[in-house]
Structure 1
């Protein structure tokens, strides 16, 4: 019969053996999976946490998702030769030697060229960026061959100044009240109304006008009877009425009527558009009160602001080309004013350009672009390479272009540029003639490049 002490000793020994076995199994879970044939690595990982590597199916210890099988092939190329691997755009840690699907997300793997060490050094150490056909289509990525300019002289794109159409102050006239009184009738009720010269503006009741009219009629009657000094007195009174705005026709009508008119009508002194209306019917006004502003829109001004370096391009009297919103063609105008000083806050100069406006179709307040012709460049610019402005990527002081190196393969190259225009930039170094440069979608390539670089750096920093 076995003693109790012996049974206890055996139980302790079996418990120690069981603990050692469990510890060994736990340690085996954190080790990488076994190497398959020809160095192929086989393991199970989590699609959300790729740092998890298990050698058997199971659940992710972090999120409890089912682990998936991953088979990767070594991506190290033969020394001195180029090799190709297939990787996932979303999971760059996946490398396979042949096309297929990403074991994590199921996307099509894309081919990625892996250069040898010597080739990598020659190309700046950056591999080509390979996209799928769907990415190229959705990103509207287009490339074209960039060659040298062949003209004798290259004319740069014109400098564009933003301006605004304003009323010509030389064609603007204000109408104010000549006497104190009440506006009995207002014939103009809204701005924008077009008036012809001689059209009625308003009628005013004024005791001052009545008194002068009565004085004129008395002097006129005495001059008819007695002549002499009364004739001069009548003429002096008539001159007062003229200065208060009465026309020769109104004076003749007053003399023919023989009695004062309590309400006197004033007429438009010019043809123009009502720009401002500062009175309402029935309002009492004093002498000199502004009533109406009339502007003749047969000519207008375009006021543009220009930087100090552009002042020399716009001398007085020069004829320039302008584009006005809503007008199909270009318009020509003459510079009539150039500010002799810069604005204190914005440090820009003001230029006014007079523009013919037949029919009054150009309205004050509309936007206009003034085009300043750029001078022809020197003969040294005959061989310069020019790329569209949207093709250039700037990172701080560095400038980059994306070039196409193969079917759906693109490479970022650093270039040096000169002073460009609004539409193109000259490339002084870093771009051989005949290179296919991405002219549309460069920023999408840059974003994809930054995304993959970030993903690669992140995976390199993980503990596998």
Structure 2
């Protein structure tokens, strides 16, 4: 019994000792876990040192060496890795001031200095950082840019209210502009042709563009046919003067011969001269039937010409035509006799013309038709060959779209944009808009901005450049460069790199 009691006693004490040891280990583990909490990797900012190329900041290496692009020695740099903070529900926009290089916008510094790439002085820039997305995933507000009064004056930025009518940023009434060319009025163009076959004895007009008066001599032609007709006329005239029997019959012969000479181009003065001389004239001179400009000369001195050959072409430029091309869908808004405005390159005024012709068929091998406008040209300033623009007023529609000048709408691969002035302090917001019908001067805005908004109509390109400068885009983006397998993945740029 004593042995059994001793055995049970030792087994009980061993059991209690094991339970005590296990409880102590559990107590120690819980205390250690409470004292040694895991470290938060975002509790501090870490500084990392790397090696980069001055000309290609996207190259980053752990060890010194050569740039794989330009073979320059890599330089040591230190980058501050900022701790990530949990974003608020909505991040408000904040004005940020930094220093950047005009030639390398990826360089951004907190203090003024030199550009590490080209050595230019860094310039001060101010931007309004766009707010981050909300926690629910809604889109962030439109990006904004802030400019001082001096910057706005230097950039010649002008703002007008959208849809304010004449003089404003846009209106509901527009016009279609057609490109045309001034041509001679065919109704005032005359061609002088040879009525007999012969040789050109003398040419009084030798160059095109020469101004001549009505009745001025043009060409003298010697013709045997004309000599025979003159001789017949003189013979009939002599018999009539002789007063022989059958005077009435010779009178009819004189009238017939006189009419034939008149049809061959002889004037009444030339016929009187022929009767006074009593012998045929050696050559016949053709005179200008009207005043105008020489448009073409078809012969030279000594040349033999046939009957009907063109000698000289004349045109009167007291009125001219403007011929323009337009598409079939634009024809419906044009009427014959309609008054339109014509703007001629190099002339300050805008004369009014009248539509005199609208072709009912399309031109060969094209999808356009011809419009002809007649213009008065009493001063002679309009000359054939000059370029002109014909303005056709658009017909009013029930739902009229707001319009902006072409310079106010900017485009890229993602769409069309305009800049809106937010307040008088110089804040401008970039808005994406949808566009409609366009002309060479205006663009219809169908959505994205409300009527009455203050829209930039001059200087929008400079605002876009300022926005691109703030963004700091990577100049090497899009290039396919092979990097060594051991190299770490380089970021697009190192904005806080310190050389």
Q: TM-score interval w.r.t. the shorter chain? A: 0.7 to 0.9
Shift of 1:216: 1.3
In the alignment, is the contact (CA less than 8 A) between 2:200 and 2:222 conserved in 1? yes
1:80-95 matched pairs, under 5 angstroms: 80=89, 81-82=91-92
1:155-170 matched pairs, under 5 angstroms: 155-170=172-187
Q: Tell me which residue corresponds to 2:490.
A: 462
Shift of 1:244: 0.8
d(CA) in 2 for partners of 1:312 and 1:146? 32
1:13-92 matched pairs, under 5 angstroms: 38-46=44-52, 47=54, 48-52=56-60, 54=62, 59-62=64-67, 63-74=72-83, 76=85, 79-80=88-89, 81-82=91-92
- TM-score of the aligned structures, taking structure 2 as reference length: 0.71
Shift of 1:61: 4.7
Q: Tell me which residue corresponds to 1:140.
A: 155
In the alignment, is the contact (CA less than 8 A) between 1:60 and 1:67 conserved in 2? no
126-135 or 239-248, which deviates more: 126-135
Per-residue CA deviation, residues 376-429 of structure 1 (Å, 9 max, x unaligned), is 343x54xx6543322323446833334456877655432233435443434343
SS at match of 2:382: coil
Over the aligned positions, Cα root-mean-square deviation in angstroms equals 4.1
Give the direction of change, closer, same or farther, for the CA distance of 1:298–1:76 in structure 2 (3 Å limit). Answer: same
Shift of 1:223: 1.9
SS at match of 2:229: helix
Q: Tell me which residue corresponds to 1:265.
A: 285
Quick check: which one's helix share is greater?
Answer: 1
Shift of 1:76: 3.9
d(CA) in 2 for partners of 1:68 and 1:337? 75
Q: Tell me which residue corresponds to 2:364.
A: 344
In the alignment, is the contact (CA less than 8 A) between 2:134 and 2:140 conserved in 1? no
Q: Tell me which residue corresponds to 1:390.
A: 407
In the alignment, does 2:324 pair up with 1:318?
no
In the alignment, is the contact (CA less than 8 A) between 2:344 and 2:388 conserved in 1? yes
d(CA) in 2 for partners of 1:145 and 1:228? 90
In the alignment, does 2:257 pair up with 1:237?
yes
Unaligned 5+ segments in structure 1 are: 1-34
1:142-221 matched pairs, under 5 angstroms: 142=157, 144=159, 146-149=161-164, 154-221=171-238
Give the direction of change, closer, same or farther, for the CA distance of 1:78–1:175 in structure 2 (3 Å limit). Answer: closer
Q: Tell me which residue corresponds to 2:437.
A: 419
In the alignment, is the contact (CA less than 8 A) between 1:75 and 1:95 conserved in 2? no
d(CA) in 2 for partners of 1:268 and 1:393? 58
Shift of 1:108: 5.5
In the alignment, is the contact (CA less than 8 A) between 2:319 and 2:376 conserved in 1? yes
Shift of 1:167: 1.0
In the alignment, is the contact (CA less than 8 A) between 1:156 and 1:377 conserved in 2? no
1:304-315 matched pairs, under 5 angstroms: 304-315=324-335
In the alignment, does 2:314 pair up with 1:294?
yes
SS at match of 1:387: strand
In the alignment, is the contact (CA less than 8 A) between 1:72 and 1:94 conserved in 2? no
d(CA) in 2 for partners of 1:306 and 1:325? 20
Give the direction of change, closer, same or farther, for the CA distance of 1:271–1:74 in structure 2 (3 Å limit). Answer: same
- TM-score of the aligned structures, taking structure 1 as reference length: 0.76
Give the direction of change, closer, same or farther, for the CA distance of 1:168–1:408 in structure 2 (3 Å limit). Answer: same
SS at match of 1:358: coil
Shift of 1:272: 2.0
Give the direction of change, closer, same or farther, for the CA distance of 1:45–1:376 in structure 2 (3 Å limit). Answer: same
Give the direction of change, closer, same or farther, for the CA distance of 1:208–1:367 in structure 2 (3 Å limit). Answer: same
d(CA) in 1 for partners of 2:194 and 2:300? 13
In the alignment, is the contact (CA less than 8 A) between 1:322 and 1:371 conserved in 2? yes
Shift of 1:358: 0.8
Shift of 1:434: 6.1
Kindly tell me the number of residue pairs found equivalent between the two proteins.
421
SS at match of 2:258: helix
106-115 or 177-186, which deviates more: 106-115
SS at match of 2:388: strand
Shift of 1:253: 1.6
In the alignment, is the contact (CA less than 8 A) between 2:99 and 2:122 conserved in 1? yes
Give the direction of change, closer, same or farther, for the CA distance of 1:187–1:44 in structure 2 (3 Å limit). Answer: same
Unaligned 5+ segments in structure 2 are: 1-40, 479-487, 495-499
d(CA) in 2 for partners of 1:181 and 1:424? 61
d(CA) in 1 for partners of 2:152 and 2:210? 55
Shift of 1:448: 7.1
Shift of 1:59: 4.1
1:273-284 matched pairs, under 5 angstroms: 273-284=293-304
In the alignment, is the contact (CA less than 8 A) between 1:142 and 1:440 conserved in 2? yes
d(CA) in 2 for partners of 1:331 and 1:83? 53
Per-residue CA deviation, residues 277-310 of structure 1 (Å, 9 max, x unaligned), is 0111222222111110111112211111111122
Give the direction of change, closer, same or farther, for the CA distance of 1:144–1:120 in structure 2 (3 Å limit). Answer: farther
